[in-house]
Amino acid sequence: MALTLYLTVNFWLGGVPLYCAEGSSCDIVQQSRWGTFLGLPTAFWGFWVYATLAFIAFKVRNPERHWKSAWFISALGLGYSVYLTMVSVFVIDAVCFYCLISLSLITVTFGIIVSQRPEGMQKFKLKTWVAETVVVALVFVGGMHLHYSGVFDPAAGPKDPYLVGLAKHLSKKDAVLYGAFW
């Protein structure tokens, strides 16, 4: 929670996280279209995953419900984190140190939750539960991918390569826009 809160507060205050200087791999990932979702930093959503897991840990007393809830939330967090890491490596071609830490934390958390399944869960079918959870996580991550592809929100999708090239060309030529309106 501390890591994602730190990144979220930095984003909102316009600060630069440690080891995330302008132009660094971390900065490139954080400034990409995958750095936000619904106008909020991706770290904010990670914070809510960890906060929900903390709530489950301290407030949900029924062992079966506790385990199932923690499994489900951590599986969603893990799926999203894996998706974002794959995007950063294969699409953005930059790796964020903080993202890798968060991926490691949610992976360890998920592993701990998996290993602590309560014994004697009545009428519980592990294979069915895993299959259902994986399907939900894939639908969730697939929906996020469609969002970032511009299907639901064209502004969140990829930028027009022509306009990107034009902007780079004009920047190299030190072009200045002078305009007026009446």
The predicted-structure confidence for 43-102, as pLDDT tens digits, reads as follows 999 999 999 999 999 998 888 888 999 999 999 999 999 999 999 999 888 899 999 999
| Average pLDDT score over residue span 146-152 | 84
**How many Cβ atoms from other residues are within 10 Å of residue 11's Cβ?**
19
Residues 158, 87: Cα–Cα separation, whole Å: 13
| Average pLDDT score over residue span 139-146 | 89
Residue of higher predicted confidence among 3 and 154: 3
- Map out the domains of the chain with their CATH numbers: 2-172 (1.20.1440.130)
Using a 10 angstrom Cβ sphere, with 0-12 exposed, 13-18 middle and 19 or more buried, the burial of residue 30 is buried
pTM equals: 0.79
- Does residue 162 register a pLDDT over 70? no
